[in-house]
Structure 1
C-alpha cells in the first residue's frame, strides 16, 4: 500500500479519508440527481387522468322516454328540441335489465313509455350513463310520453381503429380505462350485459364513441369478448342516433392490430 493511500476501518472513528469522503459525496449527489430526473421523466410520460365523473355517492332523478336501440336508454329533453340519450346500466358489472324486470311485469311493455329513474350519473366527453341500484327507483311517470324514440340515420360504411371498452368503467372510475389494465374489468362488465363501445378518434384527433351492434342492430356482447382492450380495426355501417353513434358489424371482420390510436 502506498504512503498516501487511504484505509478505512469501520470500528475506528475518523478513519474515513478525505478522498473517500469526496467520492462518496459525488456519488450521493449524482444518485439524487439521477433519481430526480428519472422521476420527472416518468411523470411526463404518464397520460393525464380523464376528466370523468361518477356520482357514486349521490343520486339524481331524471324523467324521459325509455327505448332500446338496441341497449336500454332514457331519452331526455335537455333543451327545446335537444335530446340526450342516457345509457342505462346496473350496479357493479351487470346490465340494467334485472332492475327493469318489476316494472316490465307490471306494465308489459315499457318501450316508448315515460319513466322516472333515480340513480348515479356517469359522464365524460359528452356521453352520459346512469347506474341503477334499486328497482323501486324506476317508476312509470304519469306524464304523457311527449318524446318519441330517436331515429337512426345511416351515415356510411367505415373502417375504424380503436379499442373496445365498457363505457361504465371507461367513462367512470377506471383511470386509465384502456389496454391491459382495463381488459379484465371490461370483459366482466360486457359479459355481464353492459353495452360494448368502440373508443377511437376522428381525423381531427377528437374522441368518438360507437355503440357496437350486430348487422341487424341487436346486442353483441359475447361475440366481442376476445377483442376487448386490444388495438383493433373494425369495419361496419355507422348510424347516428342523436348524441350517439352506432356501428353495425360482423365480429368476423374485427382485426387485432399492432398499434392503437390515441383514444383519449
Structure 2
C-alpha cells in the first residue's frame, strides 16, 4: 500500500481520510443537484391538466326532465329560458341503465317524467355529466309528462377526430391520455358509456358529438375497434340544444394514417 493511500475502517472512528471525505462530499452535492435539475426537467415536460372537474368526494342533487334517446339524460333548468342536458352515467365503467332499472320497474315509461338524481358531477368544455352510485338516489319528482328536447337535423357532414369515452376524458381521469387510457375507454364504452367523437374546427375549438347508428340508436360494441384512432366519419348531424348527435354507418368509418392526439 502506498503512503498516500487512505484506508477506511468502518468501526474505527475518525479513520475516514480527507480525500475520501472530499470525494463523498462532491458525490452527494452532485447527486442532489442532479435530482433537482431532473425534477425541473420532468415537471416542465409534462402536459398541463385539463380544466375539467370530477366531484368525487361530494354529491350534487339535480332535478330535471328525463329523456333516453339516444342515451339517458336529464334536462335541467339552470337559468330563465336556459337549460343543460346532463349525460347520465353509472358508477365505474357502467352506463346509467342499471341504476335506472328499479325506477323503470315501477314506472314503465320514464321519458318526459321529472326525476331527481343525486351523484358526482363531471364537467369540462361546456359539457356536464353525472355519475350515479346508488339507485336509491334516483327518484320520481313529478309523474306528469313534460316536453323532452327536440332534435333538429342540420346536414350531412364529414368529420375527422377520435372516438373517446366521455367519462374519463371529461374529468374522471387527468390527463386521461395515453395508450393505457385508450384501453380504459374501450372498457367504459363496452360497459355502456356513450361513445363521443372529439374533433376540432378551423379555430381549434373542441367539438363533441354523441354517436348513434343511422336510426338514432345507441352504439357501443360495434365501435370498440375505432376508439382512440384518428378517423374520418360521415353522417347526419342533429342538434339537441347543447349537444350534437352524429348518426353514422359503422362501415363508413375510415381510419386515418395519423398518430392519436388523445391516446
Number of equivalenced pairs: 257
Q: What's the CA shift string for 1:172-202, capped at 9, x where partnerless?
A: 3211212213123222211111111122333
Q: Does the CA-based 8 Å contact 1:211-1:245 persist in structure 2?
A: yes
Separation of aligned partners in 1, 2:23 and 2:200: 53
2:172 alignment partner in structure 1: 173
1:202-246 per-position Cα deviation (integer Å, ceiling 9, x unaligned): 322222222122222211110121232x33113122332211122
Residue number in structure 2 paired with 1:84: 84
Q: Which residue of 2 aligns with 1:207?
A: 206
Q: Is the 8 A contact 1:200 1:262 kept in 2?
A: no
Q: What are the residue-to-residue correspondences of 1:185-196 with 2, within 5 Å? A: 185-196=184-195
Contact 1:64 1:147 in 2 (8 A): no
| SS at 2:85 equivalent | strand
Deviations along 1:129-153, one digit per CA (max 9) or x if unpaired, are 1122232332333374444323233
- SS of equivalent to 1:172: helix
The superposition leaves residues 26-56 of structure 1 with CA deviations (integer Å, 9 ceiling, x where unpaired) of 5555544443333212111111222322223
**Paired position in structure 2 for 1:62:** 62
**Which ranges of structure 1 fall in alignment gaps of 5 or more residues?**
none
- Quick check: 1:201–1:261 contact (8 Å CA) kept in 2? no
Provide closer, same or farther for how the CA distance between residues 26 and 103 of structure 1 changes in structure 2, counting only shifts above 3 A.
closer
Q: Which residue among 5, 8, 33 is the counterpart of 1:7?
A: 5
Q: 1:126 to 1:101 in 2, by over 3 A?
A: same
Q: In structure 1, how many angstroms separate the alpha carbons of the residues matched to 2:126 and 2:221?
A: 27
CA distance in 1, matches of 2:116, 2:153: 27
Using the alignment, how far apart are the partners of 1:23 and 1:118 within structure 2? 63
CA contact (8 A) 2:178 2:262 kept: no
- Note if contact 2:66-2:113 (Cα within 8 Å) is conserved in structure 1: yes
Q: Which moved more, 1:241-250 or 1:25-34?
A: 25-34
Higher mean displacement: 27-36 or 78-87: 27-36
Report what 2:113 is aligned to: 113
Aligned 8 A contact 2:151 2:238 in 1: no
In 2 relative to 1, CA 179–256 (structure 1 residues): closer, same or farther, beyond 3 Å? farther
Q: What is the Cα-based RMSD across aligned positions, in Å?
A: 2.8
Instruction: Give TM-score, length-normalised by structure 1.
Output: 0.83
- Equivalent residue, structure 2, for 1:73: 73
- Check 1:25–1:200 CA distance in 2 against 1; reply closer, same or farther (3 A cut): farther
Distance change in 2, residues 1:56/1:22 (3 Å): closer
